[in-house]
Chain A
């Protein structure tokens, strides 16, 4: 049993996450497009490749590395049966995110975030709640263009976070930031597809290894 959990950690890419996407896929999905120069956040400057006609272009090489790390991490969390919560406060993609979460068998929260959801969970839900083990942000900002409260709350409750950060977002408190576009529907559909595939892959591997253990 212990071996089942420690063995994946020795491989750098146990779930072969690199095969799921190529640089051309990211380019076609318009992931490299950022906001205008005036909206740029200071901490996003290392991830920006350059600026053309006042519009920031995100460095896709770095995005590839960050995306691979993030997907690898989500796969490991899903393999160990952790609760994953998809968070996004964009109204256009709320339905897409919820359907992705339902397809994976995980959870989503694309609505108004009540203050004490993570920090005051035992009072809001009941005495025996289990908090999410990973938060995935498909858009770090909320409807007023401020950092989502869940980033700060997850950091307070020691919950790791994965988030798609655009050029106007603050990547500080996010454990696995993914610099990339969070406004185009094509980019978001790509992210949803990638997360869904990684989580399903990890869960299938878990079921296979459990079946193999039972046979022994």
Chain B
């Protein structure tokens, strides 16, 4: 008896792994969906719940209960999800039974991208034809300005998701140039719907700082609050109108809280700049940081509070003087191999 030693045709076939990720046929996906629905009903019966109203969250809880797993990676644990989430959306086989491809640009390699370019160019030609017709009839060309500031084109990644195939940077820039050319024509309003597919709204963010209005307490005195920080110190200040120039910090008078002249000068600087030294009262709270940091924090807080009492021009002057900017300087970290943030170890010749 002869023993068959020669290898089978299955091994002679080319390396299957080299052909890329396996492509799923439509029938396969349909079968998976049917199996999933059946399995969902079985699971509902097992858990004693109603199969009709068994949602995805219930499935997740049931699976976590029946198959407890201590694995750290959530995606490695047993899961039961709808096949459309499990199998990534892929291009199915592009040709029919007789071998003829479905798409007329199949042989270019990038069929969706080139068909998109073809469609966009067709829209461009349409617009030009319409324009010629209007000119022939001596009608004026519409020139309604499209709001360019509020919209942006699709990014390259979004375009890739839309076309389900890779798009190179060059191709993407060419497509955007074509769209811009289309939009630049006067009668581009005809194809507005088509262009909207590729543009997205950008919410406009107004960065204008809102100056809060004055508030009035029980006695009828106007006041306003401000917050400030410097290094690690955080301060809040309440500035009252019709005052005598008294300043209280954490319930303590400034002469006792800040014995050093330099700190008191820092506190008075906003009032001195606006020429309102004896006119306002201030009550502030401060925590964190050191002596100088707390002084700087209160200065910023009082300047912010004073904005409500003062005209816009003076606010601009304050801003230019640097009274309203947060000081970004913080303690620099120590680096390894050095003694401090900048100081290196002593260099010894030998």
Chain A residues within 8 Å of B, Cβ to Cβ: 81, 83, 85, 95, 98-99, 101-102, 105-109, 111, 114, 117, 123-130, 132
Interface residue count for B (Cβ, 8 Å)? 21
- Map CB proximity to A onto B264-295 as digits: 1 under 8 Å, 0 otherwise: 00000000000000000000000000000000
CA distance A111 to B105 in the complex (A): 10
Interchain CB contact under 8 A, B95 and A98: no
CA distance A117 to B125 in the complex (A): 30
Question: Any chain A CB within 8 A of the CB of B255?
Answer: no
Q: Smallest distance from the beta carbon of B333 to chain A beta carbons, Å?
A: 52
Interchain CB contact (< 8 A) of B107 among A81, A102, A109, A127 = A109
Interchain CB contact under 8 A, A85 and B114: no
Question: Any chain A CB within 8 A of the CB of B345?
Answer: no
> Which residues from chain A contact B114 at a C-beta distance below 8 Å?
111
Interchain CB contact under 8 A, A98 and B23: no
> Which residues from chain B contact A111 at a C-beta distance below 8 Å?
108, 110, 114
Interchain CB contact under 8 A, B109 and A95: no
Given A83-B100, A127-B19, A95-B121 contact (CB < 8 Å): yes
> Which residues from chain A contact B78 at a C-beta distance below 8 Å?
none
Interchain CB contact under 8 A, A124 and B19: no
Nearest B residue (CB) for A95: B121
Question: Any chain A CB within 8 A of the CB of B17?
Answer: no
CA distance A98 to B19 in the complex (A): 30
Interchain CB contact under 8 A, A107 and B93: no
26 contacts between A and B (CB under 8 A): A81-B98, A83-B100, A83-B101, A85-B107, A95-B121, A95-B122, A95-B125, A98-B118, A102-B104, A107-B104, A107-B107, A108-B105, A111-B108, A111-B110, A114-B109, A117-B107, A117-B109, A123-B19, A126-B19, A126-B23, A129-B95, A129-B99, A130-B95, A130-B99, A130-B100, A132-B107
Q: Smallest distance from the beta carbon of B136 to chain A beta carbons, Å?
A: 20
CA distance A124 to B99 in the complex (A): 16
Q: Smallest distance from the beta carbon of A122 to chain B beta carbons, Å?
A: 9
Interchain CB contact under 8 A, B98 and A126: no
Question: Any chain A CB within 8 A of the CB of B106?
Answer: yes
Besides A111-B110, A125-B94, 11 new A-B residue pairs in contact (Cβ under 8 A), listed by A number: A85-B107, A95-B121, A102-B104, A105-B104, A108-B104, A109-B105, A109-B107, A117-B107, A126-B93, A126-B94, A130-B100
- Map CB proximity to A onto B116-146 as digits: 1 under 8 Å, 0 otherwise: 0010011001000000000000000000000
Task: Pick from A99, A124, A125 the residue with the most CB of B within 10 Å.
Answer: A125
A-facing residues in B81-107 (Cβ within 8 Å):
93-95, 98-101, 104-107
Interchain CB contact under 8 A, B95 and A128: yes
Nearest B residue (CB) for A124: B109
Q: Smallest distance from the beta carbon of B124 to chain A beta carbons, Å?
A: 9
Q: Smallest distance from the beta carbon of A211 to chain B beta carbons, Å?
A: 18
CA distance A130 to B105 in the complex (A): 14
Q: Smallest distance from the beta carbon of A111 to chain B beta carbons, Å?
A: 5
Q: Smallest distance from the beta carbon of B80 to chain A beta carbons, Å?
A: 31
> Which residues from chain B contact A114 at a C-beta distance below 8 Å?
109
Q: Smallest distance from the beta carbon of A202 to chain B beta carbons, Å?
A: 15
CA distance A19 to B104 in the complex (A): 29
> Which residues from chain B contact A83 at a C-beta distance below 8 Å?
99-101
CA distance A107 to B99 in the complex (A): 13
CA distance A126 to B107 in the complex (A): 12
CA distance A108 to B117 in the complex (A): 14
A-facing residues in B150-197 (Cβ within 8 Å):
none
Nearest B residue (CB) for A121: B107
Interchain CB contact under 8 A, B104 and A101: yes
Q: Smallest distance from the beta carbon of B9 to chain A beta carbons, Å?
A: 15
Interchain CB contact under 8 A, B108 and A109: yes
